[in-house]
Structure 1
């Protein structure tokens, strides 16, 4: 595999010297995410394979081009999982893309985001240098945690060649409950439950129905079922998989906004149709009657930010514009890691 790293290095050094933009891509399953694609493709799939996995240590290390499906199949053999439930977007998804996109699924609000599970990473910068950050245990993280900074960076800092991720055991028991509630009542109920010691692992409200997943030891789950009430869903696995992988019919739309808000924020009156996850912290919006500026102002006023997640026209910018001080930090970081500005131009901001 060192030969493949040398090929990456030669390509990156040549591109930096010529000022040629490079578009880092694995399975290209998330090409629609972020800003418009630019540059020649730098394909990571040849650099694949699990480098190290010790189930008792709850850590897996894999190269960037390793298919997500391969990682999850190996973990499943040992009844373990990536607890942040990354959306799969098909069989082509790679572990490098999982970290670079920073996207998490239904369990994120209770288990943590992608960045919370990144223990270490190897990055090839714009000079072709191979840099190592973090390690394979939590105590190795000290100072400025670049390995976690890479989560959600969309490749603008360099080529993530390898990552070490913390994994967790699969829950012993999972039960799903269903409640018929309007949006206001559902938000109130999710916030009430979020402050209680309940084995919640996912919530979803859409079209007058609140769906709640409970995960953990059987006594804890059964006690929560008795306490919360609601109707038990016989087989909810397809529902949660469809929500995680965004194959649920709600996501079949031309334009989709991703609103990140404090869970206690009130309902957002923006028109359109919403699907709410993460105890109220993530609100998907489609068919909005407000324009991009109005949506972002309303969400910012409530303490959040809005991403134009899917759209044919992203001239308004995919991501909520950062504050000037944050923008300066972003610019300095990119200049430090990618002086020639060749990696994934325009993908983030």
Structure 2
């Protein structure tokens, strides 16, 4: 089956230009900001350095619907990939957010972000089968392949997911895809947060075709996806009120893209209106300021926008998350001097340092995007 095509490119010439820029930067010790569409440039510590623009290195290299694998260059727009998959009734299982029309495949994997399906199907890293990258010496390295069992030593293909480009320039990716669900339904329930968490944990232990959940302001919404009979049986067992199909699609898209009204409470112009993402066990009890939160992933992902006046500090928010058995990320806005990500334990930090030294000895790639120092 034919699929949407990127404009023809001279891949070798573009690759040579990228290599020349990387080698020159390494010789000078000049940091490079690896960027595709720039739709996630706000995520992590502030970008710095000379821009290495990946948008020209684009195009679907191979796609075999029967094998459930698509291979594309890093600069390929996510919209183009999703359109090709849709023609064959398939999708990217982890439901990646775009955050803008210019989102690319490379940026999607580098950020490692996922949408409502994440707890039910897996994270982006779970679907990366292979990768081609350029290291800090300008060498092109191949890892993994186009099958699930193709790994020896470090599983570098998956380590790239969420590394924010600090290990190398992602050039090409092979991603496992899945068939689009035959049927979907969204149910709505009115209940307080404590009851919603209890229900989500109870349903999570049952063979239900769950594919998304969200609690906010006293309303719990749950998405079901799978075979028609399974969705109908789950709908009958769970109860609730059916949400109109079009409204349901708009709702889950608003969560994925953070256009839901909850996220609008964190404008750039409001000092201190930072958006925090708390990752905790699904069974964690309601956290302080429960009514000011939006909860996803069966209770494991809790979004919180503390008020600017007399609100908790970054340290206090991280202590709250740690006490619940998790960690906190300063996702959008706020004072990044406090650090975006919770510092790693010493042993994990040491492993990260060794990986960076192996792949980027001059530390030119997206310097300090993960941690300020």
Q: TM-score range by the shorter chain?
A: over 0.9
Q: 2:41 is matched with which residue?
A: 31
Q: 1:128 is matched with which residue?
A: 138
Q: 1:278 is matched with which residue?
A: 297
SS of the aligned residue for 1:334 comes to helix
Q: 1:341 is matched with which residue?
A: 363
Q: Is 1:205–1:277's contact at 8 Å kept on the other side of the alignment?
A: yes
Q: 1:222 is matched with which residue?
A: 232
For residues 168 and 269 of structure 1, the distance between their equivalents in structure 2, rounded to whole angstroms, comes to: 38
For residues 176 and 24 of structure 2, the distance between their equivalents in structure 1, rounded to whole angstroms, comes to: 35
Q: Is 2:37–2:102's contact at 8 Å kept on the other side of the alignment?
A: yes
SS of the aligned residue for 1:140 comes to coil
Q: Is 1:272–1:285's contact at 8 Å kept on the other side of the alignment?
A: no
Q: 1:256 is matched with which residue?
A: 275
1:246 correspondence with 2:268: no
1:86 correspondence with 2:96: yes
For residues 249 and 28 of structure 1, the distance between their equivalents in structure 2, rounded to whole angstroms, comes to: 23
Runs (5+) with no aligned partner, structure 1: none
Q: 2:319 is matched with which residue?
A: 297
The partner residue of 1:212 within 199, 203, 222 is: 222
For residues 339 and 270 of structure 1, the distance between their equivalents in structure 2, rounded to whole angstroms, comes to: 44
For residues 271 and 256 of structure 1, the distance between their equivalents in structure 2, rounded to whole angstroms, comes to: 15
Deviation at 1:143, TM superposition (A): 2.8
For residues 150 and 73 of structure 1, the distance between their equivalents in structure 2, rounded to whole angstroms, comes to: 24
Q: 2:270 is matched with which residue?
A: none
Runs (5+) with no aligned partner, structure 2: 1-10, 268-273
Q: 1:307 is matched with which residue?
A: 329
SS of the aligned residue for 2:317 comes to helix
**Structure 1 stretches of 4+ moved >3 Å:** none
Map 1:46-85 → 2, pairs under 5 A = 46-85=56-95
Q: 1:106 is matched with which residue?
A: 116
Closer/same/farther in 2, CA of residues 271 and 293 from structure 1, 3 Å limit: farther
Deviation at 1:260, TM superposition (A): 0.7
Q: Cα deviations across residues 178-198 of structure 1 (Å, max 9, x unaligned)?
A: 000111000010001001100
Deviation at 1:114, TM superposition (A): 0.2
For residues 203 and 332 of structure 1, the distance between their equivalents in structure 2, rounded to whole angstroms, comes to: 38
The partner residue of 2:169 within 135, 138, 159 is: 159
Deviation at 1:331, TM superposition (A): 1.1
Q: 2:348 is matched with which residue?
A: 326
- Give the TM-score taking structure 2 as reference length: 0.92
For residues 36 and 313 of structure 1, the distance between their equivalents in structure 2, rounded to whole angstroms, comes to: 11
SS of the aligned residue for 1:249 comes to coil
Q: Cα deviations across residues 32-56 of structure 1 (Å, max 9, x unaligned)?
A: 1000111011000000000000000
For residues 244 and 258 of structure 2, the distance between their equivalents in structure 1, rounded to whole angstroms, comes to: 21
Equivalent residue pairs, number: 349
1:4 correspondence with 2:33: no
SS of the aligned residue for 1:98 comes to helix
